Structure 1
Amino acid sequence: MSSVATWPTQAETWLDQRGKGAWIAAMVLGFIFFWPVGLALLAYMIWSKRMFSRCSKRTHSRHYGFKSSGNTAFDAYKSETLRRLEEEQDSFESFLQRLREAKDKSEFDAFMDERAKKARETSSKDDEPIEA
């Protein structure tokens, strides 16, 4: 009975280790062989946010760790380098987010300035005396 309960978990782990492409391939094959299976996989991928995750390999490095090379010095170097790269990626992504927000703000401010200018022009035309 326990093997029946664990096979979905084992299949999920196996697909996670192979990345988003494996999930998509499983979904497509599910649609080809028996469409409800493909539909169920698609629903699960959307529900679990696997479909929209940015980088599945990055997630795996945090969840599963890495296979040891047998050399502790190299493993420590590799772990530190990957940690540093992830920090750099996170800081770069936050920089890009701040850049997008600043661009959005400047575009919105320009829109509001243009709108206010048009409103002033319209009100100044309304204030002009009408000649008969």
Structure 2
Amino acid sequence: MDRMMTTTKSCMIKPAWTPATIGLMVLGFVVFWPLGLAMLAYILWGDRFECMARDAKEQWRGSPLKGAFDQMSSTTGYARTGNVAFDDYREREIKRLEEERAKLDAMRADFDDFLRELRRARDLEEFDRFMANRGRTNGGSEAAPS
């Protein structure tokens, strides 16, 4: 009995037919049926989820699809097609588009700088107008420094 307790992980809700799990399943079906279905799956197969995840990872490691996905996510982001002319054309076009993107980014940065200066000039003008109006409304009642 003690040996069994040490090998199992501690969970708040164990995957078994207990009043708590049944209540959560019913509540899940009442609120949103996929939640109830998920709780039912947890009750039935919850103790096997860890093994299933480990088996899925092992199968993915040996899968031919993994190699294809790794090739697609290479540094260039594009796999060669085998047609040299098309691959060269695609590389030239991608380089051209990257240069256009860099130009657009530079233009955007320049425009942001322009807007920042425009806002600064407008704020300065409004502040100067405020200070001028403030001086007129006080009527020179401020004490001059001695």
Task: Give the TM-score range, shorter chain.
Answer: 0.3 to 0.5
Larger Rg: 2
Which structure has the higher relative contact order (CA within 8 Å, separation 6+)? 1
Give the alignment's TM-score, normalised by structure 1: 0.46
Give the alignment's TM-score, normalised by structure 2: 0.42
Question: Between Structure 1 and Structure 2, which shows a larger proportion of helix residues?
Answer: 1
